[in-house]
Structure 1
Amino acid sequence: MTYTEASMDALRQAGDEFADATVAALFERGEVGAFNALMRYVSTAGAPLPDGLPDVAREYLEATRVPPAWVDWSEMEKARLFFTDNNVHISTALSFASMPACYLVPHVAKLLSTTHGMKYPSKRMAETGQFTVYLMRPDAFEAGSRFIPAAQKVRLLHASIRHHLKSENRWDAEAHGRPICQEDMIGGQMFFSLLVLDSLHRLGIHMSTEGAEAYYYAWRVVGAMLGVDQATVPRTLDEARRFLDLYMVRHMGPSVEGTHLTRQLIDLYEEVVPGALFDPIVSALIRYLIGDTCADWLHVPRTPWDTLVKAAPHLLGVLETIEDRSPLGAWALDRLGHLTTVFELSSLTRGRVMHYAIPDTLKKDYGISSAVSHTHRWTPPAATIS
């Protein structure tokens, strides 16, 4: 598909009609409270829907309870194995590249600042981490899984944010388009898929083309379940590169909100990193993965670790070689990666389960007003805009 300024402008005006209509009906009928209370008990796929659930919500949940009919399950299994093989690296990329990239888009940073409570900044990362872990479990789309209910709730959460920002006149639609529009939803999908793959490549992680394509495919499935229009979403990694390059050139830049959110992110992970001595590695990793220009826009501090962190690909390369050559080494490193991911997620959630409820209002205190071969490694698609 060819992406142009005109086609991207059209995507800025489009939301998610089905989810938007569901949320509008819930608010119009005063049923949001009842929905949230009952949905806390709907956390696994296939569970019976509770009595008293509003009819419009029941219709939405029935219509979205299964993945798209076009899903290739062999590709999804390849994606799961890719995640298992690289889970700690993917968590690193999500934390230190994907989230800061969101903050590089001023209107996205403004929206995040408007809709997230500042007293619990780990909520953003906890929700993202939990969602990704649910997605990559073997039973993600089977009865008893937690992924599908999470996807259903996140889609309604996005629709509720659009509803509030419009009804409360807290969003300049003429300047920024619809909040969480199709262009931004696809952009977010690129941040959590292609940009993660780019970051793994920059870290020197061994990836096959097959594994990289499967991981991207899994996020295409996620996008469909979150209301992304599949007629406009990039189908291949080359198309994804063209979209992401144009999207970032159209929108990225410095902002007060982006700087504030980045400072929160750094502070959060400095709390997770044991000991003050290693705190600067957080800023150094962000700077290494997103580049100096973007890091300067976000006011990521320079540290003595900036030079040392450039050795990360060499160290990881040694570990990857051990993994490739030794089944026992592969098992040990995969297990270590799993435990590291679990520790990181438990630190972010404080042991809680994130419920993705529909907010009744946007409160004033929100915001600031492997089966993978390593023989032929994946190479990122070339930049399309110089």
Structure 2
Amino acid sequence: MGKLHLYTDSLFDTLRDRQDDLADCAVLSLIKHPDWIKLINSWQTIPDDSPSDFDTDLVRFFEFYKQKETSTEPGTLKNGQRFFAENGQLYTAMLGLYSLPYCYAFADGAEVLVRSKRIIDSIGERLGETGSFVMEIFKPGAFTSERSAFLVCAKVRLIHAFSRYFISHYAKDWDNAYGKPVNQEDMLGTNLAFSQIVLRGLLKLGISLTEAQHQAILAYWKWIGELIGIDVNIWPETSKEAFELDKLIRKRHIRASEAGQKLIGALLNYYRKTIPDPILIDQIEGIVAFFLGKDASKALNLTSNRLIQGDLLGLVLKLNGQKNRRTKNTYVNLKRNLDQQQIQQFGRLMIIKLPEIARS
């Protein structure tokens, strides 16, 4: 039996109250022991044996990843990594032009994002960290010969738990009507934005995708989803299921919000300052609106008076990404280009780090 029967309002109402107990308990341990945060940030991979002073909750958290190392699916991983190696340039472009703005249009989830000052005040660094996460999880050999990807996923999962902790303890303006912060439904929606929505963006650019390719990316993000704390029993297996799941979440949550409009404003301003191509800068709001479609664009108060052709936009994005390159678009070339951009802009490579807390 497929997953379509699961995509109901009644079930998804319960998901708004579910979070991630394993990570939340681990973060309580880290709050009590800030030195452990610094230690984890110094790791290159998850060690075979947890430090002897780690408590039970933190040991249990990292044991989950040690168990996953023995249950990898090489075929699933290779298929996803191959797709990214062939399409990584446009894949990463869709994350910035479609996936992130799409998340901002979901009013309740945007309430979590807007409460992170770094997303508004240091949006370039946050985008750089997102790019680093995606490059790490799609690295050839990730999760098999490259074990560092497990640590990156563990850090992202803990960062989500830190967000839940700080909002629940310090955000006095949090409205319970938003649901619990970083809940299972919102995490499912974000995972869809990094997979299904990216593929939809490629289709809007006139790129043909087979059902096998679609399922390969869904399977890859099912694997990632489990590693970052998502209940993958609900995750779609086919393009039809992914379409219906996204349709349900859109119906439930796309609406105008001050939080979403503040987030998209910060993102567009950042693009206007940093995108080197004058054609893209001049039309950036219209390009984002083109991908988002009518409902999400309206929620974010985006307008476009220009008719944008997807195939021509795809050509511009490809040419823009190929500047200063003489070789074929591969993972190595894309990674080198993104690293150079980060060093030029920030003076360093952006990496995923847990928030370090001063000992009181």
Instruction: Establish whether TM, by shorter chain, passes 0.5.
Output: yes
Counterpart position of 2:322: none
Q: Write the letter of the residue equivalent to 2:284.
A: V
Counterpart position of 1:19: 23
8 Å CA contact 1:162, 1:179 repeated in 2? yes
Offset, 1:21: 1.6
Offset, 1:244: 0.9
Deviates more, 1:336-345 or 1:264-273: 336-345
**1:354-375 deviations in Å (ceiling 9; x for gaps):** 23314649xxxxxxxxxxxxxx
Offset, 1:50: 5.6
Aligned with residue 297 of structure 1, among 292, 296, 299: 299
Deviates more, 1:141-150 or 1:257-266: 141-150
Offset, 1:188: 0.8
Deviates more, 1:306-315 or 1:284-293: 306-315
Q: Relative to structure 1, is the Cα distance of residues 105 and 357 closer, same or farther in structure 2, using a 3 angstrom cutoff?
A: same
Q: Write the letter of the residue equivalent to 1:109.
A: A
Structure-2 separation of matches of 1:56 and 1:228: 18
Unpaired stretches in structure 2, ≥5 consecutive residues: 320-325
Q: Relative to structure 1, is the Cα distance of residues 346 and 317 closer, same or farther in structure 2, using a 3 angstrom cutoff?
A: closer
Structure-2 separation of matches of 1:344 and 1:207: 29
Q: Relative to structure 1, is the Cα distance of residues 318 and 160 closer, same or farther in structure 2, using a 3 angstrom cutoff?
A: closer
Pairing of 1:125-144 with structure 2 (within 5 A): 125-142=127-144, 144=146
**Aligned-partner SS, 2:233:** coil
**Aligned-partner SS, 2:92:** helix
TM superposition outliers: structure 1 runs of 4+ over 6 Å: 316-319
8 Å CA contact 1:194, 1:216 repeated in 2? yes
Q: Write the letter of the residue equivalent to 1:354.
A: I
The number of residue pairs the alignment matches comes to 347
Counterpart position of 2:172: 170
Structure-1 separation of matches of 2:314 and 2:113: 35
**Aligned-partner SS, 1:267:** helix
Q: Percent identity of the aligned residues? A: 22
Q: Relative to structure 1, is the Cα distance of residues 23 and 230 closer, same or farther in structure 2, using a 3 angstrom cutoff?
A: same
RMSD: 3.0
**1:244-301 deviations in Å (ceiling 9; x for gaps):** 1011111101111111111111122223312656412322321111124422432335
Pairing of 1:75-86 with structure 2 (within 5 A): 75-86=76-87
Counterpart position of 1:64: 65
Structure-2 separation of matches of 1:188 and 1:104: 12
Q: Relative to structure 1, is the Cα distance of residues 6 and 314 closer, same or farther in structure 2, using a 3 angstrom cutoff?
A: closer
More helix by share: 2
Structure-2 separation of matches of 1:92 and 1:176: 30
8 Å CA contact 2:19, 2:183 repeated in 1? yes
Aligned with residue 184 of structure 2, among 178, 182, 185: 182
Pairing of 1:1-386 with structure 2 (within 5 A): 1=3, 2=5, 3-27=7-31, 30-31=32-33, 33-46=34-47, 53=54, 56-67=57-68, 71-117=72-118, 118-142=120-144, 144-168=146-170, 170=172, 172=174, 174-274=176-276, 276=278, 278-300=280-302, 302=304, 306-312=306-312, 315=315, 332-334=328-330, 340-343=337-340, 350-358=347-355, 360=357
Offset, 1:19: 1.0
8 Å CA contact 1:79, 1:218 repeated in 2? yes
